[in-house]
Amino acid sequence: MLNSAFQRLTLAAAVALAVSGCATVGRDFSAPPAVADAAFRHQGTNPASAARLPTQWWSVFHDATLDQLEQTALRDNPSVKAAAQRLVQALEQAGVTRSSQQPQINARTAVGNSRTSAETSQGLALGGRSIKGNDYQVGVSLSYEVDLLGRVRRMVEAADAQAQAAEADRDGVLLLLSSQVATTYWQLRGLDAEMAILNGALDTRRETEELVTARFNAGLSNELDVSRARIERANAQADLHEVQRQRNLLEHSLATLVGASPSALLTAANLNTGAGAGVVNLPQAPAIPVGLPASLLGQRPDLAASVATLRATNAQIGVAEAAFYPSFSLTGNFGFASESLRNLGNGAARQFGAGPLALSLPLFDGGRNKSNLALAKARYEEALANHQSKLLTALREVEDALSDVQQRQLQGDAQAASQAAAARGYLVARARYERGVSSYLDVTDAQRSALAADRAAVQINTQRLLAAVSVARALGAGWQPSAQLASVAQDDALKPATR
């Protein structure tokens, strides 16, 4: 008898599992259409390249200090650790939801002592006697939701998509952090170059002040020229202090990005970028390979996270639709019960139950299910609109960065001519002053022009490096989706549009 009961229970579970794979509520998700643009507007004359940045994209700058800072930041920055824990939470939540697809089996045991009343109808029927004694029970119970229409499968799909979004969000944090480190580092290097120029200008102004003072003492100049020379030297000193102030702020920011104390990083040997040295040369900005606009969906983690969120909200529509249909649940139990602990394992103490196979069908809910379905559809439409907005923003960021690269290059070429002319003008003005042909005011103007041209050239070179960082970041900075994300994206691309 026991075997036949278990056979019936097994058969019912098998039938339920087979039937549950026949239908799924809701519509299968299809990825939004790709960008139709043939090329980026400011891509220039270079054709679109299929090459991509390496995963450690900052290596294209060939700077050992930057490489070390990036590795330290990705290891020690607290925001990276927080993003990793958010991913762990999403994965575990997906595991909790996925467990609903499996039968739940629980072991139970109980010990009790009871006595019935002798004055009840049951007691009187027994001759005024009460029933009392111990009760020992041990056994297992089974419960399983028969997923006939795929409600649980849609819940699992939504949870998996949310985990994929968390993974892409984690990768987005890494990308943003690495670009912030590179940006701050090159800004700091640019200020180092400015400080080197200002230090050279300060030395020149000291020499000029000594020259003017000597000419004044010899009666070849006037006190106004001496005052002008002192003013220029003091201005150069003040500019140097201002640049040093800005550099300190950037150094503190860089320390925070790499997860270190700002005070500790001030004396770190690995940040010796040349401050205080005679000459600091900035490297040429590397060329960043630019692909097609349609490839952005597979290159940027924020867009991948947006698509995963869209997939999750689409699955939630199916969950909401399932509330309109019947739900089935199957239960069963097997165990032993006895008044005496000694006889608990006897065959006569066995007890079992199979079923019921319960059906629940909503008849009246006051419009709750209808509102939940409308809410799920509205969330999907919101997610779709948000995705379209993020895609347009991504395209704008690429165009902005590519435009900056083009214009900074043209600006740098023009500034190089200005720098050469200003340097020549200063040499001529000083030579004319030393021969007594022109006044010291010409020298002062020429000094200011040459210093401004030199600093502008450094600032433009710095901006060209920052523009290269912006292009890399806008194009995804070498991001590669995980195998799971890539597989899901490929499956979605093969599905026909359903919405």
Model confidence over 423-432: pLDDT tens digits?
A: 888 888 888 8
* Residue 466 domain-assigned (yes or no): yes
- Mean per-residue pLDDT for 483-487? 62
Which of 207-221, 243-257, 259-273 tops mean pLDDT? 243-257
Residues 384, 480: one domain? yes
Angle between helices 301-322 and 483-494 (to 10 degrees): 60
- What confidence score (pLDDT) does residue 7 get? 44
CATH, residue 192:
1.20.1600.10
Q: Are residues 312 and 424 in the same domain?
A: yes
Q: What is the pLDDT of residue 269?
A: 43
Residue 145: φ, ψ to 5°:
-90, 120
Does some domain include residue 499?
no
Residue 400: inside a domain, yes or no? yes
Within a domain: 366: no
Residues 6, 65: one domain?
no
Among 50-64, 118-132, 168-182, whose mean pLDDT is lowest?
118-132
By percentage, how much of the chain surpasses pLDDT 70? 83
Are 440 and 383 found together in one domain?
A: yes
Q: Are residues 35 and 61 in the same domain?
A: yes
Mean pLDDT, all residues of the chain: 79
Considering 360, 381, 412, which residue would you say is the last residue of a domain?
360
Mean pLDDT, to the nearest integer, of 246-274?
75
Q: Report yes or no on 465 lying in a domain.
A: yes
Q: What is the pLDDT of residues 164-202, one digit of tens each?
A: 888 888 888 899 999 999 999 999 999 999 998 888 888
pLDDT tens, position by position, 285-321? 888 778 777 777 778 888 888 999 999 999 999 888 8
Q: Answer whether residue 377 is part of any domain.
A: yes
**Residue 169: which domain range?**
31-102+149-326+371-494
Radius of gyration for the chain, computed over Cα atoms and rounded to the nearest angstrom: 38
Q: How far is it, in rounded angstroms, from Cα 466 to Cα 250?
A: 14
Number of domains in the chain: 2
**313 and 335 co-located in one domain:** no
* Residue 140 scores a pLDDT above 50: yes
Residue 467 has pLDDT above 80, yes or no: yes
Let me know if residue 344 belongs to a domain: yes
Dump pLDDT digits (tens) for 24-50: 777 888 878 777 666 677 666 555 555
Distance of CA 416 to the CA centre of its chain: 39
pLDDT score, position 499: 41
Q: What is the pLDDT of residue 185?
A: 93
495 vs 73 pLDDT, higher one: 73
Question: In this structure, are 172 and 240 located in the same domain?
Answer: yes
Final residue before a domain boundary, out of 360, 384, 418: 360
Tell me, what's the pLDDT at 183? 92
CATH label of the domain that carries residue 141: 2.20.200.10
Say whether both 276 and 177 belong to one domain.
Answer: yes
Query: Which of 309, 340, 360 represents a domain boundary (last residue)?
Result: 360
> Poorest-confidence range of 235-249, 288-302, 319-333, 366-380?
288-302
* For residue 378, pLDDT beyond 90: yes
Q: Are residues 80 and 108 in the same domain?
A: no
Other CB atoms within a 10 A radius of the CB of residue 182 amount to: 27
- Exposed, middle or buried, 86 (CB in 10 Å: 0-12/13-18/19+)? middle
Q: Is residue 310 part of a domain?
A: yes
Residues 317 and 437 in one domain: yes
Helices 368-434 and 440-474 cross at an angle (nearest 10°) of: 150
Are 64 and 194 found together in one domain?
A: yes
